[in-house]
């Protein structure tokens, strides 16, 4: 408890306050194909750094994540687990068609680890429709309704933190960026309030027309404008130059909205993006990881 | 006189907002046939043993401070 005393003229007031403990820095983690996880983990940790989180992908709610969650926890890593919805549309999930699957999933997460498990439903949902209100599983409103239905079921497990992972280009400075009103259909205030955090995937393109840090900054500014966002995260990041990595990791260390979240490097092939040892960025990520605060 | 002080400890940086209706001071001075008005603002004194508060805005009635 601290106390501040304010005096003006002959009048004095005192205010007692407690400075909240600073939230932890974001966890620094990685995704990689399951069969290459051990190799790539060993590569990035070769100079002494230690990963703190692992992104895991599944295509259906019915896939049992127990083995992967336990494997991550056995390595001391926060599991950040993304599920696509199999054959379900977002509207079907919103209508209750996947309630039993979600209940089973919540129970599996609980049984796999008493510690926190992050669950994301349908990452990068927007398929760049025009206007940007339709995705793989339905409309933006369906997406929001899906989360309204699923969050209470998943959180009943007690250890499940429910996040979203949105399309990073929503927060570009280019013309294709989404307006606050457009994002609000995907993530309306009540859904933002239910979520434990909101993340997005941020890549810097070859020509640097969009940098990952620019989009991360814009997402933080958006979160502050619209309110109701507890924590931000970076589900994937990668690029072509050392600064494509360091600019982002420096930023998320300093912006308070990213504290308590995580930033997960994409160490796989994806369109033009390559694993770190193929783009010459392995040394750079090793150094980021080696110097990342525990 | 009314003086209030409120702190938002959840903001980053923290903010301290001081509102007072007693800071404005105005005196009229007459000498011979001449009259002048002098105005000023009483200062705000902030004392905190744990941290230093930095003034970031002051309109004469509301003063806003921040602290890390």
Q: How confident is the model at residue A19 (pLDDT cuts 50, 70, 90)?
A: confident
* Residue A262 falls in which region: left (phi positive, over 0), alpha (psi -120 to 50) or beta: beta
pLDDT of residue A114: 87
Whether the per-residue pLDDT at A128 is higher than 90: the answer is no
Q: How confident is the model at residue A208 (pLDDT cuts 50, 70, 90)?
A: confident
Whether the per-residue pLDDT at A13 is higher than 90: the answer is yes
Report chain B residues whose CB lies below 8 A from the CB of A2. 48-51
Show the DSSP H helices in A156-211 as ranges. 180-186, 189-194
Say how many CB pairs under 8 Å bridge A and B. 65
pLDDT of residue B10: 67
Per residue in A233-289, pLDDT (tens digit) is: 999 999 999 999 999 999 999 999 999 999 999 999 988 889 999 999 999 999 999
Show the DSSP H helices in A12-114 as ranges. 37-44, 66-74, 90-94, 99-112
Q: Which residues of chain B have pLDDT under 70?
A: 1, 10-12
Alpha-carbon distance B50 to nearest alpha carbon in chain A (angstroms): 7
**What is the arithmetic mean of pLDDT over A22-26?**
80
Radius of gyration of chain B, Cα coordinates, nearest whole angstrom: 16
Radius of gyration of chain A, Cα coordinates, nearest whole angstrom: 20
Is residue A124 within 8 Å of A163, Cβ to Cβ?
no
Whether the per-residue pLDDT at A22 is higher than 80: the answer is no
Give pTM, 2 decimals: 0.77
The reply to whether residue B7 touches residue A11, judged by beta carbons under 8 angstroms, is: no
pLDDT of residue A136: 87
- The mean pLDDT value of chain A amounts to 94
Whether the per-residue pLDDT at A79 is higher than 90: the answer is yes
pLDDT of residue A166: 97
pLDDT of residue B58: 92
Question: What ipTM was estimated for this complex?
Answer: 0.90
Report chain B residues whose CB lies below 8 A from the CB of A15. 5-7, 16
Of A139, A155, A21, A153, the C-alpha closest to A90 is A139
The reply to whether residue A9 touches residue B49, judged by beta carbons under 8 angstroms, is: no
The reply to whether residue A6 touches residue B9, judged by beta carbons under 8 angstroms, is: no
E strand or H helix at A201: strand A197-203
Which of the two residues, A40 and A128, has the higher pLDDT score? A40
Is residue A232 within 8 Å of A223, Cβ to Cβ?
yes
Of A161, A150, A151, the C-alpha closest to A196 is A161
pLDDT of residue B11: 67
Which residue in A1, A5, A7 has the most chain B C-beta atoms within 10 A of its own C-beta, making it the best mutation to test that interface? A7
The reply to whether residue B7 touches residue A15, judged by beta carbons under 8 angstroms, is: yes
DSSP class per residue in A217-286: HHHHHHHHHH-----EEEEEEE-SSHHHHHHHHHHHHH-GGGTTSEEEEE-S-BTTB--HHHHT-HHHHH
Q: How far apart are CA A235 and CA A30, in angstroms?
A: 9
Residue A6 has its nearest CB partner, among B14, B18, B22, at B18
pLDDT of residue A38: 97
The reply to whether residue B20 touches residue A3, judged by beta carbons under 8 angstroms, is: no
């Amino acid at each position: 408890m601290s106390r501040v005393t304010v005096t003006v003229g002959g009048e004095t007031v005192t205010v007692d306050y407690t400075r909240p403990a600073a939230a932890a820095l974001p966890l620094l983690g990685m995704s990689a194909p399951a069969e290459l996880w051990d190799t790539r983990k060993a590569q990035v940790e070769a100079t002494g750094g230690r990963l703190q989180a692992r992104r895991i992908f599944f295509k259906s709610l019915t896939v049992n994540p127990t083995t992967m969650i336990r494997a991550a926890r056995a390595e001391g890593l926060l599991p950040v687990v993304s599920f696509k919805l199999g054959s379900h549309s977002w509207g079907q999930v919103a209508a209750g068609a996947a309630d039993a699957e979600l209940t089973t999933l919540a129970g599996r997460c609980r049984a796999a680890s008493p510690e926190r498990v992050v669950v994301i439903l349908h990452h990068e949902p927007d398929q760049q429709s025009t206007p940007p209100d339709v995705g793989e599983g339905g409309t933006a409103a369906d997406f929001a309704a899906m989360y309204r239905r699923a969050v209470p079921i998943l959180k009943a497990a007690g250890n499940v933190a429910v996040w979203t992972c949105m399309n990073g280009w929503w927060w570009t400075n280019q013309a294709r960026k989404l307006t606050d009103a457009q994002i609000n259909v995907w993530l309306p205030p009540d859904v933002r309030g239910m979520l434990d955090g909101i993340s997005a995937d941020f890549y810097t393109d070859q020509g640097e027309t969009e940098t990952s840090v620019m989009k991360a900054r814009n997402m933080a500014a958006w979160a502050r404008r619209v309110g109701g966002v507890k924590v931000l995260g970076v589900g994937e990041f990668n690029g072509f130059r050392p600064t494509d990595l360091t600019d982002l990791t420096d930023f998320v260390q300093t912006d308070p909205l990213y504290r308590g979240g995580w930033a997960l490097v994409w160490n796989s092939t994806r369109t033009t993006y390559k694993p770190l040892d193929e783009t010459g960025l392995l040394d750079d990520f090793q150094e980021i990881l080696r110097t990342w605060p525990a | 006189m009314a003086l209030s002080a409120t702190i938002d400890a959840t903001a980053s940086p923290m903010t301290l907002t001081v509102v007072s209706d007693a800071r404005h001071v105005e005196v009229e001075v007459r000498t011979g046939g001449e009259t002048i008005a002098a105005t000023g603002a009483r200062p705000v004194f902030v004392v905190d043993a744990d941290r230093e508060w930095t003034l970031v805005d002051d309109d004469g009635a509301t003063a806003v401070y921040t602290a890390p």
